[in-house]
Chains A and B, each alone.
Chain A
Amino acid sequence: MSCVKYIWVRGNKKLLQEIIFKKDTMDQEMEILIWDFIDGRTGSQEKDFVIKQIAEDPLWKACYLQQLGIHDMLKKVELEMPSLRFSKNIMEGNC
């Protein structure tokens, strides 16, 4: 999945493919770096770089906001609950 989906190179399919491949790789690197930043795994230099990119590059900013949205939602996922008798069954049956 790439943040940049539309690239137009008129009349040159091979060049278009190469650009898309390069762009996808760059996007992937950017996305990984942003995830590292969100997860707090970046070193100070990387952190400064990401902050600068997010502030100056609309593509970085868009990706950051998207990934932050997913991250915040994932933090709020509620756990599933077993039946009310679950712990009783364990304590009465097997322990």
Chain B
Amino acid sequence: MVTAGQSEELVINRILKGDKSAFSILVKKYQDYVFTLVLRFTNNREDAEEIAQDVFVKAYRSLADFRGDSKFSTWIFTITRTTCLSFLRKKKLDTISLDNERTGLQIGNLESGFGANGIEQKSKHMMLNNAISMLSADDSQVLNLFYQGDQSLDEIGKIMRLDPNTVKVKLYRARQRLKDKMEKHFSHELREIYMG
């Protein structure tokens, strides 16, 4: 029996030896990370769930190709990104650009969300997630990979097929854009955060 406490390497070996059930440990460990990354691309939970499932199926089927020369998380996040890109190409979701910021729809959502209960009742978490969802898919993915995915600039470079210096610039710009969004849409809350 493989438990959640066992090392990834051991879990992977068990799967490769035919213990299919051990794969559920990897799914449970990474499902939120993968789902969040995908959601940053699609902005649609149903699509995100479908793509995220596809990511895990691909990971399972090509697990023998994982040589352990990178972290498993870097490997699965690379599959996540390529799966997202091919999904977007297939669906031709022109409205979801990798480079362009998403403003109209998100601002509409914000207004409807805040209208009923008042902006004061919204948590900082909601505010930040809303601000992140206004960024381009690329910006929000860089932030997610760096802060939640615990990936270094080199690792993000591998995932996004970019030079680490380019990733550094992207990360800098993404944080600046996030700050701008928050200053524009949540200036009151931001002031409270800055004041501690």
Measuring CB to CB, which residues of chain A are less than 8 angstroms from any residue of chain B?
1, 31-32, 35, 65-67, 69-71, 73-83, 86-87, 89-91, 93-95
Contacts and interface: CB of A to CB of B under 8 A. Distances in A.
B36 A73 contact: no
Interface residues of B, number: 41
Contacts of A31: 172, 176
A66 B179 contact: yes
Given A70-B175, A74-B143, A79-B33, A95 B49 contact: no
Interface of B: 20-21, 23-24, 27-28, 31-33, 35-36, 39, 45, 48-49, 52-53, 56-57, 60, 124-125, 128-129, 132, 143-144, 147-148, 171-172, 175-176, 178-180, 182-183, 190, 193-194
B57 A65 contact: no
A90 B148 contact: no
B57 A95 contact: yes
Given A65-B194, A69-B193, A35 B175 contact: yes
A77 B53 contact: no
Given A65-B194, A80-B32, A81-B35, 13 more contacts: A35-B175, A67-B179, A73-B128, A76-B128, A77-B125, A81-B32, A86-B53, A87-B24, A90-B27, A90-B60, A93-B53, A94-B53, A95-B56
A86 B176 contact: no
Contacts of A76: 125, 128
A70 B124 CA distance: 11
A76 B32 CA distance: 15
Given A1-B179, A70-B178, A82-B49, A95 B143 contact: no
A61 B125 CA distance: 25
A91 B32 CA distance: 16
A77 B32 contact: no
Contact of B60 (A74, A79, A89, A94): A94
